[in-house]
Every structure is written in structure tokens, then in C-alpha cells.
Amino acid sequence: MKKLLLFGFFIIQLPVVAQLKLARLFSDHVVLQRQKPIPVWGWAKPKEKITITLAGQKQITTADATGKWTVKLSPMEAGGPHQMVVTTKSEKIEIKDILMGEVWLCSGQSNMEWPVKQADNYKEEKKNADFPQIRHFFVGHEVTITPQKELTSGEWKICNEENVGNFTAVGFFFARELYQKLKVPIGLLHSSWGGSQVEGWISKEGMLTNDELKAYAQALPKTWEEADAILDKKTRKQLLGSEVLPTTADEKKYTEAGYDFSKWLKAGSPLGQWDWKGIWMFRGKGFMACEVEVFDEMISQPTTLGLGIQDSFNEIYINGQLVSEGIVEGTRKISIPAHSWKKGKNQLVVKFGNMVQFPWYGLGVNGSPDDLYVSTKDTKVSLASGWYLMPSFAEPHTYNHSSNNVGTTIYNAMIEPLVPFAIKGVLWYQGESNAGRAYQYRQTFPLLIQDWRKKWNDTFSFYFVQLSSFGAYQNSNNGSSWAELREAQTMTLSVPKTGMAVTIDVGNPKDIHPTNKQDVGHRLALNALKFDYGQEVLHSGPMYESVQFDEDKAVISFNFAGDGLTVKDKFGYVKGFEIAGEDKVFYYAKAEIIGDKVEVYHPKGQKPVAVRYAWADAPEDANLFNSEGLPASPFRTDNWVGKTVDKKFE
């Protein structure tokens, strides 16, 4: 588009800067929510008149003093394709291939972000992904201190063999089932971020309504500089026990012989980003240290020190002596002179900086446990564990602006710009990053639901995934933060128009990202099919209803047993139950299915007062299901104080 300006006898052609703009969500291939009013918004010149047409509807509005304009079109039924035309006196925008259907906002952390291309059976799923009426919009990762009006990127993608690999796997398998049963277009509005805490997704206004988060919201930083300073103080207090800033002289002592680094952050393995070891988004220099005990015959020989992959400038100290410095790329095998090690325990300290080839990675070491060792030709000592970490606060450093630096900042950049785009409901898969504060999640998770519904002014459906199995199989005497988080999720079912997909049976104790996303999407779809689309399906596995205690056993009653309870065990044994008496000591218990109930027996013959089922991070043995093959939700009958009750968001 060009504007013509006439000056005397000369014609000068100048490009016109476009003033008319639609919100990025309104682009080719968009799916709009059927049977609800359709908000459409954008920007133009202040006070300019805008005309919007869609499928025979026409609305005229005027931009406000800032240039913002909004209209609300009348509800439409499923169908399309349609075309939207937006015009001003001098400009015109056309949006093509618009479908009316069901729009679901998919949000949470990495298990929602997990793409189809990394899910089970991708090759087959890809071959059978021709669903042009399923569309996907990915909201890019961004955090901002203040709420944003518009997204910085994103476009609607049609589901086909080429595109499906990048769709949210949980969302796609949910959408596919809905489409196959409803035959209406499905739009997936995907806004998630791996590792994110729930507090990042709640607005400041939402936090201000909660007694525990109100003080945090009132003290939110106004700039990133202020936020970085707060995080720096918090990190120093966490790692040093004090907010006092160390000096260069203080940190020089870290490399001296005999320095006690046992009070540093105990990391176990040095492999991986420091971000996920408790030193969040720190970018600068740091120290890692461990004690090494070599065999006597190694002392008089030159040795090779394996330190994995870390391509910054490194200084390596053994018992206070600098034995190597410089940059070694690739898997490092560093030559150490003879007599650098002594008999007994040695102190190994490495000072280094951010990864160079991958600067976003920050501090950390890559490679495998086998790449960490001290060796001679004939002898090898593993250094795969026993490491301690400490950042250098005295030297220049910064903090990456990421998901968990400041509460509300994900909401500001990744949810606020979506409001009030009409949606049917929300699919939510998050909680792993809040397990350490599971008790508080009883408040923060319902608060998020309430907050988003208030922002949209719509009590839409909200379906979520209960945490899967990952980590250890503790007993109830040890306690489990993941079990407490699942309990908080289950309690959230008291919020109207919510539903939960139980997934403990399709997890992977050794991988926080189980790849069976098909069953997860299916179980979420059951909730939507029942509550939103009126289909006669059993939407849930068995849920604890009540308990009756007898002399040496407890009788548990369940909701949603379907045509009866069952177990997945070739011998027919019920597993996963524990029982306790007045002493609050839990024992693994024998259990039997009796009709739609389970009888649990105390192995010591004591009178029971509490029963727990699947109360562990990874309850691998839990095997109670209903007739539809849906797993029973973990539960406990007691309300004894758990391990996360005092853990609060700061």
C-alpha cells in the first residue's frame, strides 16, 4: 500500500505505515468458539471507525484514544470456512479459512508442552494425522513484568503430517478424540512452559485476593533490574545463609587447601544445568567441588581427569594447587601431573563460567556419568557423584529472565494477551514444579482457575491431569510430596465444572516425561465428552468415597466403580494399600475387592485408624481399576500433617 503526496510539480511516493491491526490470534486458519459471543479486537488510529464482517454479520466500532477497538459478534454454529474482513477508510485486512468449532486452551508445564513427535508411536501417529479441521496455535515463551496487550509471535497451523509433530501431544490426542466423536472443528490454543510453577500463571489481581499471596503481589518488582536484585539476594540467602555480598577475597578462599565446601549446595552429580539444581537462572562464574580418594599407586603416576563437557575457561585446583587452566572443547580428558594427588582425601575445586557454545545453558556440565573420573592406565576412580556447587557472587553476573524468576510474569506475557478470546475450556497439566509446596497448592491451583475465569468473565470447563508416577516408591512413613500434590489436585475437584485425569499407571518412575500421551488425552476427553457434550461415558476411575473401620480391617467405598472394581495383576492381588493403627505407623496391607468396595487388613491385627493408597512419588504397584480400565486415584483417609505443610511460595 502506498500513499501519494503532491508537492508542486513533483509526485513523491512514500510507504504508508499500517495502522489497522488485528490481534495475532485472528489469523488465517483460526478456529473460533461456536455457540458463544465472539470477541474480536485490534488496533487502528485513535478515534478511527472500523467495520468488521463475518459470515453475514457486520459490526461498526470506533477505536478509543489509544487506538484499541473491540467488537463482539453474535454466536455461530460449527462450520466454515468463513472469511473475516476488517476495514477502515484507508486500510483492509482479510482473514481466510476461519472455522467455527470448539476451542480449548492447553496450558501448564513440560508434560503439556511435550510434542507429538516425542510421544509414543510417532511414526504411526504422523501417518494418520490428516485432520484439517484440527488447528493449533503455539504461544511463544515470554515473561514480562507488566501485562501485555498482544503476543509477539504465533500463527494457526492445520493438522497434517507435516505440522502435527509440533502440536502439544496431550492436546492433540484430546482433540482427535473429540473431533472423531463430535465431527466439529477443534482449535488448540497452546500456552505452556516446561518447569513453570503455578504462581507464574496467576495474575497480580488474582494473587491480591489470596491471603497467603497478597503480600507477595503487593511487593512485586516494577522492573527487571529490581527483580534481578531481589533474586540475587534470595539466592545468596539460600546458598550462603546470608544476604551479605561476598568479596573477591572471600571467594579466593574457595580454592585454598582445607576449605570447607560441605556447606555449599549439595548437588550429587555435577551433570546438568544449575537452573534445575536450585540455582535458578544465575549466569556468571561458579565453583564446583568434591572430595576425591585415589588409590595409593595412582599418586606417583600422571593421571587423567575426566570432567565431562564444559567449554568455558576452567581453573582446576587440587588441594589448593592450580593444576590446569584453559579451555578444552568436547569431552574433556585433562592431564594431571604426577604427585598432584595425596594419600587419603583430596579436594578438587573447579572454577568455570557459562557454557560458550550454548550460552543459554549457563553454568553446568554436560556428558554422561562415565565422563567423570580420575584414571591411570590401569585404574579408574569415578567422580560421578559427591559434588557441591557455589556461584561466584563477587564477580559480575546476571540472571536470565525465565519462567520462575517472578510470579505473575508468565500470565502477563502468555495469558493476558489471550483474553477475552472465546474458549470452551482449559486443559491443564502442571504441578511437578509445585510438589515441594504441595499443601499450598490446595490454595494456589483453585486460585488460578478462579482467576482465569474472572479474567474471561466465563465459568468455562477446566480439566486437569493428576501427576503421573516419577521418582521413588516410598512408604507412607517416609511421606511423599508428589502424593500430597495429587491430593491437592483431587481436592480441587470441589471447584465447579472441573475434572481430572488420573495417570499414575502410565508414568515412568525414571522419566518425569512419560511418553504415553495418548491415554492422557483420552482421559481428559472423557471428561469433556460427559460434561460438555452430554455423552454417556464413565469419565473417571474409582475415587475414594468413605471408610468404615472394624477390629482389624478397613472397608473402603468408591465412586465411579462402573460395573465393578478390578485389578491389573495376573494373580488377582490388590496392591498399593497401606494401613496404620493409633501409633500412626503404616504397614503394607493385604486388600481384597468385595463388590464395589475394598477390604484392607492390618497385618499386625491392630485396630486400624487410617488407610492410604498409592501414597508415593511413583506408586508402581498400585493396580486398582474400574470396569472401564480407568485407574483409581491415590488417596488417604487420614488428615495427618504432611511433609509440605510449611513450604510457602516466596
Read off the pLDDT of residues 268-302 as tens digits, 9 standing for 90 and up.
999 999 999 999 999 999 999 999 999 999 999 99
Q: What is the pLDDT of residue 16?
A: 52
Given pLDDT bands bounded at 50, 70 and 90, which one contains residue 14? very low
Nine-digit cell string for 409:
510474569
In tens, the pLDDT along 431-465 reads 999 999 999 999 999 999 999 999 999 999 999 99
The whole-number pLDDT of residue 17 equals 61
CATH number at residue 313: 2.60.120.260
Per-residue pLDDT at 5: 39
- CA 527, CA 545: separation in Å to the nearest integer? 19
DSSP-based three-state secondary structure for 182: helix
* Largest Cα–Cα separation, the chain: 107
DSSP state of 509: T
* pLDDT tens digits, 529-568: 999 999 999 999 999 999 999 999 999 999 999 999 999 9
**Element containing residue 287 per DSSP (H, E):** strand 286-293
Q: What is the pLDDT of residue 595?
A: 86
Q: Rounded to an integer, what distance in angstroms lies between the CA atom of residue 261 and that of residue 258?
A: 9
Lowest mean pLDDT among 5-9, 183-187, 607-611, 646-650: 5-9
In a domain, 566, yes or no: yes
Other CB atoms within 10 A of residue 305 CB:
23
Phi and psi, residue 217, nearest 5°:
-65, -35
As for how many domains the chain has, the answer is 2
571-575 contacts, C-beta under 8 A, 24 or more apart: 573/623, 574/598, 574/623, 574/624, 575/621, 575/622, 575/623
Among 239, 329, 243, residue whose Cα is nearest residue 287 = 239
The closest alpha carbon to 524, from 103, 171, 201, belongs to 171
C-alpha closest to that of 464 among 500, 434, 439, 440? 500
Task: Report d(CA 367, CA 496) in Å as an integer.
Answer: 48
Question: CA-CA distance, 488 to 243, in Å (whole number)?
Answer: 33
Task: Tell me what percent of the residues of the chain surpass a pLDDT of 70.
Answer: 97
Taking alpha carbons only, the member of 161, 54, 175 closest to residue 106 is 175
Domain termination site, one of 399, 422, 457: 399
- Please, which pLDDT band fits residue 4 given cuts at 50, 70 and 90? very low
User: One-letter amino acid identity for 279?
Assistant: I
Specify whether the CB–CB gap between 125 and 119 falls below 8 A: yes
- Tell me if 200 sits within 8 A of 410, measured CB to CB: yes
Q: How many residues does the chain have?
A: 650
Point out the domain boundary residue: 399, 424, 459: 399
Beta strand pairing status for 461-465 and 498-501? parallel
Kindly give, in sequence order, each residue whose CB lies less than 8 Å from that of residue 260, ignoring residues fewer than 6 positions away: none
- Whether pLDDT at 18 is above 80: no
pLDDT for position 368? 96
For 108, 149, 190, 208, the CA distances from 144, given in Å and listed in that order, are 18, 11, 18, 18
pLDDT band at 11 (very low <50, low <70, confident <90, very high): very low
Give the model confidence (pLDDT) of 94-149 as tens digits: 999 999 999 999 999 999 999 999 999 999 999 999 999 999 999 999 999 999 99
Region 162-182: what's the mean pLDDT?
98
Each residue of 70-81: pLDDT tens digit?
999 999 999 999
- Residue 147, in any domain of the structure: no
Cα 593 from Cα 457, distance rounded (Å): 45
Residue at 256 is within a domain: yes
Instruction: Assess if residue 530 is contained within a domain.
Output: no
- pLDDT(350) > 60: yes
Contacts 24+ apart (CB under 8 A), 152-157: 153/24, 154/24, 154/25, 155/24, 155/27, 155/28, 155/29, 156/27, 156/28, 156/29, 156/30, 156/31, 156/187, 157/29
Cα atoms in the 13 Å half-sphere on the side-chain side of 215: 5
Average pLDDT of 575-591?
97
Pick the last residue of a domain from 358, 376, 399.
Answer: 399
Parent domain of 582: 543-632
25 Cα distance to chain centroid: 23
Q: Round to whole Å and give the CA distance between 485 and 439.
A: 7
C-alpha cell at 240: 550462603
Residue 34 CA: distances (Å) to CA of 37, 186, 418? 8, 10, 17
Is residue 300, in this structure, part of any structural domain at all? Answer: yes
Q: Is it the case that residue 3 has pLDDT exceeding 70?
A: no
Task: Report the amino acid identity of residue 421.
Answer: F
Is pLDDT at 624 greater than 60 in this prediction?
yes
**Distance separating alpha carbons of residues 245 and 256, to the nearest angstrom:** 20
Strands 314-318 and 265-268: unpaired
Listed residue (629, 637, 633) closest to 493, CA to CA: 633
Mapped onto helix, strand or coil, the DSSP state of residue 63 is coil
Pairing of strands 380-382, 282-283: unpaired
- Mean pLDDT along residues 155-169: 98
Q: What is the mean pLDDT of residues 186-214?
A: 98
Q: Which three cell numbers stand for residue 577?
A: 494399600
| SS3 track for 241-280 | CCCCCCCHHHHHHHHCCCCCCCCCEEEECCEEEHHHHCCC
Is residue 393 situated within a structural domain?
A: yes
Mapped onto helix, strand or coil, the DSSP state of residue 387 is: strand
Phi and psi, residue 632, nearest 5°: -70, 145
Query: Of the candidates 155, 168, 159, 192, which has an alpha carbon nearest to the alpha carbon of residue 23?
Result: 155
State the pLDDT confidence band at 8, using cuts at 50, 70 and 90. very low
Q: If you ran DSSP here, which 8-state letter would residue 477 be given?
A: T
Q: Is residue 309 part of a domain?
A: yes
Per-residue model confidence (pLDDT) at position 623: 97
Please report which confidence band the pLDDT of residue 13 belongs to, taking 50, 70 and 90 as the band edges. low
Structural domain includes residue 405: no
Distance CA(395)–CA(248), nearest Å, equals: 7
State yes or no: pLDDT of 503 exceeds 70.
yes
pLDDT in tens, 404-436: 999 999 999 999 999 999 999 999 999 999 999
**Mean residue pLDDT across the chain:** 96
Q: Is 241 exposed, middle or buried (0-12, 13-18, 19+ CB in 10 A)?
A: exposed
Report percent pLDDT > 90 for the chain.
96
The owner of cell 478515534 is: 47
Helix (H) / strand (E) element for 531: namely helix 518-531
- Mean pLDDT score, 157-163: 98
d(CA 133, CA 101) in angstroms, rounded, equals: 9
